[in-house]
Structure 1
Amino acid sequence: MTKTIVGYANRLSVRSGDEIAFHASTYGSGATDVSLVRLTGCDDPDDGGIFEETEIAAEWAGRVEIPHQPIFAGSYAAADGVRAIAGDGGIHFAVFVWQNEWVNSRQCLMSLGRNKGGARLELYLENNVPQVVCGDTAVTSRPISPRRWTLLLIDVDASGQVSIRQAPAPEHGLEMLHTHAPLGDVWNDFHSAPGGDESASPLECWFGAANRDGRPAHAFDGKLEQPAFFDRVLRDSEAGLYWNTAPGEHAGLPCNHLWDFASHISGQVAEDRGGASRHCRIVNLPTRAVCGRKWDGTVHDWTVDSSHYGAMHFHSNAIADAEWKPFARWTVPADLPSGLYAAKLVQSESDDYVPFYILPQLDAAKPAIAFLAPTASYLAYANFCIQPQFAALYPQMREDTEGDALLRAHPEFGGGLYDMHPDGSGVHYSSLHRPIVNFRPKASNWAFTADGDIIAWLEQTGETYDTITDDALHREGIDLLDGYQVIVTGTHPEYWSTTMMEALEAWLARGGRLMYMGGNGFYWRIAFDPNGTDCIEVRRAEDGTRAWLSEPGEYYHSFSGELGGLWRRLGRTPQSLVGVGFSAQGFGGSTHYRLTEAAADPRAAFILEGVESEVIGDFGAHGDGAAGEEIDRADFALGTPAHAIVIASSEKHNALMLRAKEELLQTMPPGIEDPEVRADMVFFETASGGAVWSTGSIAWAGSLAHNDYGNNVARISTNVLRRFADEEPFRLP
């Protein structure tokens, strides 16, 4: 079925009194039935999953006409009121350019024109060849080399004669191409200004994309650094001097404008260090804190010396905000309990859900239990599609979904942190403000939908609980957790900011009880956008099981200035926090656990009460087992507390369950049975009366509902939940 309606919300989580906006676009009829629902199960019922929705009254519900709204992807930097025309009537422009790989499309480096439209003067790369374009006339130069900084100097005199100079480094000299072909009548139209005073007529300038009525087109894949407009032609010797200046410096050269892309790296502007001070606004998340022409390997932290980080990396498919007009704005009433909600959109046989979380009221009494929804992981996996290398290993993952088809039809929705841009560079940022086709119920049983299995289990236990979220934890810190006795995680709480991590550590130190009901958790450090957009950033530094590599020198987050990478490599291992850490991944089927001898320890008796079999979880939604997909094991050398009990361990994984690469000092020989590839169920007490219980498996939640919850996975989980909710303190052995 072809999807004809898709939407998104502008918030991941809200409280009563907050406003949330719902945005949508249609690809068929505009008539749409919209409603508010509460979700207590997110699996696809056609595959036997648990799906529960309850309609909630809302004043905006009903039949709504929703228009088609396009998305214009592509990152760029824009400045208005630019005085680009020099005193001699010409235009003299310079910029440093770097491309990772050649992209076989026409891409715009600079677009200059009047604020009210009309003719434009533009600089393109096409098949790595620079072109100066005005109207139908193009003046071309020599090719530039990939992965090498090149200075381009563009001079157009008052009559439209063009000179293009370029140099890969000043010691190699400047190559000059002169053309005597004028740019023609279009240049005259562009050059003419109201009142005949070209020097006084401001223009608008975009870097990284062509400006088409305020929308990006022909967007660039590559880095730009220190674009500038000069008041006259620079001599070759002055061009060499310009190369050697630090970002933002002009060495006394006659700059009308000089944009310093090393300025305000965590913000949304770049300063103009020239005389006119027309600062750039940054649109659609070009990657910041990336190495510029000055980077020489002596600096790795941009906060120490930003002169090495004077570039922006622009991307033709980057998207920060779809900018769709909302079909509804809603102030959350006080009478709705916390939980998972969605705006439901229905057109004939096509539907879509726009999920969001309602947090408990700030002044409300807190129950003992809270479910912590891993919204950072949802953003990280946004619009994830199966990569060819995974499909080759796991043929069953090749199944085409409705979401896959939608993403192929609409690549402008953008990717998540597992995708790469067209030039082969990794996607560092993921934004909420666009359609995310797998942040939906009934999608593949992974992350968001799999967490619905935990919500459904919590509902059937009859225990009272609140729902809180990663993004709220980052905003509010430990204040969000204080007052709860038990925190239940989702299936894949993989991405954690420093604020989140410190809040959880402090809460555990105060006696909290944590139920870690997943795998591959507490793995990557992330940063949230300090400008309050809920956008997250990752830097995949040095190690870890990952889809792409950060460039050397680009391991520090632009949003926070913190070193990125694995929490394990940053000295805060998951094992020291929850007793287990990432061990292996494999998607060729799941298996079961078997109780260990340590399970007979009286300290674990409450966990196994009513459990009669030593085999745990040999059933479920993930290939017939509760241990699978991504699994964690105990490791006392990496920080698992010495008194922790390994209650059960998985066994009989197939050959496609592969050890995590950060675990290996050398390549594991093929065909060997690796004893370290296992999921461990672990329990331990803390000094402050709290405790931690970890399942060590993403697949655990998929086994909860088996036999209408009449199974040992659900029994163990419920035993732990109720004992953890009991106020009686735990004691260290």
Structure 2
Amino acid sequence: MTRPIPPHRPLVVPGVHGYASAKSVHAGQRIDFHVSSDRPYDISVCRLGQDADSRRDDVEISDLGASAACVQPIHPGSYVHVERGLPATLPLSGLTLECWVMPWRCTGERQALITQYDAPAQCGFGLFIEVDGALALYLGDGGTQRSACLHTGGPLTARRWQHVAATWDGQWAALWIDGICTGRWPSTGLVFPGPAPLRLGAAGERHGADALADVDLAMPAIYERALPADEIAARVALRAQQLPFDPAVRACWPLREGRGDGVADASGHQRHGRIVNHGAWMIRGPAFDEETEDGGDPFAAPGQRQGLRLASDDLYDCRWDSNHSITLPADARPGLHVARLRFDWEGREAIYDITFLVKRPADAKPAPLLVLCAMSSWLAYAATPFARNQVEDPVWPRRSTGLPNSHPQAPAFCSYTYHHAGQPSYFTGLRMPWPNASPAALYDPAGSGFSQWTRLERRLHAWLEREGYEFDLLADLDVHANPELLARYRTVVVNGHSEYWSTPVVDAFDAMLKRGGNAVVLSGNTMYLRVSFDEAMGVMEQRKNEDRGADPANAELRPPAGPFGEAFHSQDWARGGQLRAVGRSAASIIGLETAGWGFADAEDFGVYHVAEPGHALFNEPHRLGLERGRTFGHAPGGGLPRAIGHEWDLSTATLLRMTHDSPPGAALPEPPAGLTVIAQGIRRVPGAMDTYLDWHSRVTDSLDGLSAEMIYWERPQGGHVFHAGAVGAAWVVGSDPVFDGLLRNVLHRFGCEPL
């Protein structure tokens, strides 16, 4: 059961949106669907059929009938809720509100920093950033809001740590920024905290928590006395590295937890808090020093990573009620399914699909072949969860910047886009809509027919079924939750765009190979970036961050990233980013490493050229009759789909040829033994957005358009790998007789035969 939150400003998103209670479910189990709709709709459950480009072959499993409109609001915005505020009816003898703050914006809606304030009738005190960026203090009697109780001081600066304080000694009140008084006025009335809860990063309005802040906070504290100028200056000099040792402290939250939703009060008054809507730990604190080395330990240097990042659009769990449910038949066929909602949209029928995976019953005998669904990567690209509905198949923009939003204030961030105020996005919620996972979703370049996620991966599923292969489907999320699942299989297929992997999944996959298992990799950009999950499997974390001293001129070549120094995950305190940085390079496990991308135009997609025509995979048991240089991996006649595009992988040996120097202290690996390049993926004509990477993931020149390599690797450490080296490899399955014949030979070599 989702934990409820205190009253919170609601936001109604127009249209039809929904998610399932689980991303995957066993046959025979129940699954629920959580829907918000401002119009009537019909809903059914379908198993996706053979045609990846239409819905006509989908099989209806259950008709759940007609449903009336049922709007369920969302409640975005993170803050800290402290139920035990200062005593409501005892007047204060003095007051200081103090914290370090880095605002991500200094314009737009009002932002609260430290408050015991519920407008309009329970207004005690509050430290705010006003709409023009000015620091402001409200001192009231705990009752009705009065404009005369609010005073402003000097302006804050966006995206820079500043120490702020508000003081009141019973006669005068003042506002301070970095130890400088920016406003002072007489204030002789009594100040009562009132009955509102304490909040950090929010204040109360009629509907609950509001005035949600886009800030980084560190060491907020409340004193029942006014700190004088010299003591404020001393606090500024400490840069949040020392607790205030003062008997007048009534609450102090060091914000050093680094994980979880609990916030401890260090004052002794037990004013512990709870983070609502997650926030972000493991950020650069006020004392962060870019030149300090951490040696892989995020806490090696005290004060480096301290504080909590809040965002007014943080949302990772809609907390919607279940509208519909189904208990799947025990004999339900494994496969990708959808809850399909049909409704009227601007006079035409529109469809909204909620994708989920049905697995074999938990006690069923495993099939000879396992196909993994790259759901971690689907989640990473899940921008605009509340995208505006449309009738036509949506085309997702490059780098998954998202579709038009149904509401301008609805969350739109994903691992490739920032929060509304510019904060880096490190988290994705699993109890959220993910319209990018719709089987109808396409991807740029528009008009090419290229897709990712569900639509891309199901091509292989349909081909295996047509060919008569028995196979199981699991999500990589399932393997993360139970890594022992891979021990049941000898041959595992990695499919589509399988970029994001957790370390438990990587290690389980490597262990499967070391036991003599086989890997079929029909993916590019594979096993590149690390993710982790919270214990409830409700939130996924990934961190992409700038390098130390990164050149801003190269920013457009990189996906949106957080600042240097924030690479450590809050869920496990381990370094994030590229898996090779944590000792798990894809090349050491599956033979190839990410080497670049190009997705400007449909014509950017290239093809494979045979390099080793005598290799067994081209000849056993089906002789494909290929000669050196013969092309494949394309539709008949060389048209689309073509395999070599979007993103691709190359061998260590080739990447070393593309690496002309190394950063200080960086080492280059030895190419692995036993690896054969059987085909080369070449893109003769450069595309407008081409980027080629060297071993260190730095931009380099291509080797005459060599983009991908197809390999067979007998690993010295055990196991066998066939790796196609390109995202588009999954796209050509079923469209190219040569590629299909090669895939049959690969499966035969790995002991998988059609029934």
Instruction: State if a TM-score over 0.5 links the two structures.
Output: yes
Matched, 1:128 2:133: yes
Q: Deviations over 1:519-551 (max 9, x none)?
A: 001111122123431433324353996312332
Q: Would the aligned equivalents of 1:154 and 1:163 in 2 still touch at CA under 8 Å?
A: yes
Give the gaps of 5 or more residues in structure 2: 1-12, 139-144, 386-394, 443-450, 657-668
The corresponding residue for 1:425 is 423
Q: Would the aligned equivalents of 2:693 and 2:700 in 1 still touch at CA under 8 Å?
A: no
Identify the match of residue 615 of structure 2 among 589, 601, 612. Answer: 601
The corresponding residue for 2:523 is 518
Q: Deviations over 1:34-84 (max 9, x none)?
A: 111112458443xxxx874211137xx122224122223222111112116
Q: Would the aligned equivalents of 2:675 and 2:715 in 1 still touch at CA under 8 Å?
A: no
The corresponding residue for 1:254 is 248
Identify the match of residue 412 of structure 2 among 387, 404, 414. Answer: 414
- Residues 147/622 of structure 1: CA separation in 2 closer, same or farther (3 Å cut): farther
Q: Distance in 1 between matches of 2:478 and 2:274?
A: 28
Q: CA deviation at 1:5?
A: 1.4
- Residues 223/400 of structure 1: CA separation in 2 closer, same or farther (3 Å cut): closer
The corresponding residue for 1:646 is 677
The corresponding residue for 2:112 is 108
Amino acid at match of 2:635: F
Q: Would the aligned equivalents of 2:37 and 2:70 in 1 still touch at CA under 8 Å?
A: yes
- Residues 216/62 of structure 1: CA separation in 2 closer, same or farther (3 Å cut): same
Q: Would the aligned equivalents of 1:368 and 1:483 in 2 still touch at CA under 8 Å?
A: no
Amino acid at match of 2:605: S
Superposition pairs for residues 56-455 of structure 1, below 5 Å? 56-57=61-62, 61-83=64-86, 88-100=92-104, 102-113=106-117, 118-119=122-123, 121-125=125-129, 126-133=131-138, 134-137=145-148, 138-156=150-168, 162-167=173-178, 173-180=179-186, 198=192, 202-213=195-206, 215-243=208-236, 244=238, 249-263=243-257, 265-297=258-290, 298=292, 300=294, 301-304=297-300, 307-348=303-344, 349-383=349-383, 404-405=403-404, 407=405, 409=407, 411-444=409-442, 445-455=451-461
* Residues 489-498 or 646-655, more deviating: 646-655
Q: Distance in 2 between matches of 1:84 and 1:177?
A: 28
TM-score, normalised to structure 1, is 0.84
Q: CA deviation at 1:515?
A: 0.7
Identity of aligned residues (%): 24
SS of the equivalent of 2:437 reads coil
Q: Distance in 2 between matches of 1:202 and 1:306?
A: 37
Q: Would the aligned equivalents of 2:613 and 2:626 in 1 still touch at CA under 8 Å?
A: no
- Residues 426/400 of structure 1: CA separation in 2 closer, same or farther (3 Å cut): closer
The corresponding residue for 1:170 is none
SS of the equivalent of 2:410 reads helix
Q: Would the aligned equivalents of 2:78 and 2:310 in 1 still touch at CA under 8 Å?
A: yes
- Residues 568/242 of structure 1: CA separation in 2 closer, same or farther (3 Å cut): same
SS of the equivalent of 2:481 reads helix
Q: Deviations over 1:195-243 (max 9, x none)?
A: xxx57x6531222233335654332222111212212222223334444
Q: Would the aligned equivalents of 1:591 and 1:624 in 2 still touch at CA under 8 Å?
A: no
The corresponding residue for 2:392 is none
- Residues 695/142 of structure 1: CA separation in 2 closer, same or farther (3 Å cut): same
The corresponding residue for 2:659 is none
Q: CA deviation at 1:462?
A: 1.4
Q: Deviations over 1:546-601 (max 9, x none)?
A: 312332221111111111121233333222222222122111231211101x2313
The corresponding residue for 1:194 is none
Matched, 1:679 2:708: yes
* Residues 564-573 or 301-310, more deviating: 301-310
Identify the match of residue 626 of structure 1 among 643, 658, 671. Answer: 643
SS of the equivalent of 1:678 reads strand
- Residues 102/702 of structure 1: CA separation in 2 closer, same or farther (3 Å cut): same
- Residues 497/441 of structure 1: CA separation in 2 closer, same or farther (3 Å cut): same
The corresponding residue for 2:448 is none
SS of the equivalent of 2:570 reads coil
Q: CA deviation at 1:358?
A: 2.4
* Residues 79-88 or 493-502, more deviating: 79-88
Identify the match of residue 23 of structure 2 among 8, 12, 22. Answer: 12
SS of the equivalent of 1:82 reads coil
Amino acid at match of 1:629: H
Amino acid at match of 2:430: L
Q: Deviations over 1:644-667 (max 9, x none)?
A: 221111224421262334547976
Q: Distance in 1 between matches of 2:399 and 2:616?
A: 48
Amino acid at match of 1:723: R
Q: CA deviation at 1:180?
A: 3.0
* Residues 243-252 or 428-437, more deviating: 243-252
Matched, 1:660 2:692: yes
Q: Distance in 2 between matches of 1:140 and 1:227?
A: 19
Matched, 1:467 2:473: yes
SS of the equivalent of 2:466 reads helix
Q: Would the aligned equivalents of 1:22 and 1:326 in 2 still touch at CA under 8 Å?
A: yes
Q: Distance in 1 between matches of 2:214 and 2:605?
A: 40
SS of the equivalent of 1:499 reads helix
Q: Would the aligned equivalents of 1:4 and 1:347 in 2 still touch at CA under 8 Å?
A: no
Q: Distance in 2 between matches of 1:165 and 1:401?
A: 42
* Residues 491-500 or 149-158, more deviating: 149-158
Larger RCO: 1 or 2 (CA < 8 Å, sep 6+): 1
How many residues are treated as equivalent by the alignment? 679
Q: Would the aligned equivalents of 1:611 and 1:712 in 2 still touch at CA under 8 Å?
A: no
Q: Would the aligned equivalents of 1:99 and 1:221 in 2 still touch at CA under 8 Å?
A: yes
Q: Would the aligned equivalents of 1:539 and 1:557 in 2 still touch at CA under 8 Å?
A: no
- Residues 713/375 of structure 1: CA separation in 2 closer, same or farther (3 Å cut): same
Q: Would the aligned equivalents of 1:241 and 1:251 in 2 still touch at CA under 8 Å?
A: no
- Residues 242/608 of structure 1: CA separation in 2 closer, same or farther (3 Å cut): farther
- Residues 57/561 of structure 1: CA separation in 2 closer, same or farther (3 Å cut): same
Q: CA deviation at 1:145?
A: 2.9
- Residues 120/436 of structure 1: CA separation in 2 closer, same or farther (3 Å cut): farther
Matched, 1:723 2:717: no
- Residues 299/14 of structure 1: CA separation in 2 closer, same or farther (3 Å cut): farther
Amino acid at match of 1:94: E
Q: Would the aligned equivalents of 2:686 and 2:705 in 1 still touch at CA under 8 Å?
A: no
Amino acid at match of 2:103: Q
Amino acid at match of 2:203: A
Q: CA deviation at 1:248?
A: 7.3
SS of the equivalent of 1:454 reads helix
Q: Distance in 2 between matches of 1:108 and 1:296?
A: 28
Amino acid at match of 1:616: F
Q: Would the aligned equivalents of 2:119 and 2:204 in 1 still touch at CA under 8 Å?
A: no
Q: Distance in 2 between matches of 1:480 and 1:17?
A: 19
Q: Distance in 2 between matches of 1:508 and 1:400?
A: 32
Q: Distance in 1 between matches of 2:406 and 2:706?
A: 35
Identify the match of residue 739 of structure 2 among 702, 706, 713. Answer: 713
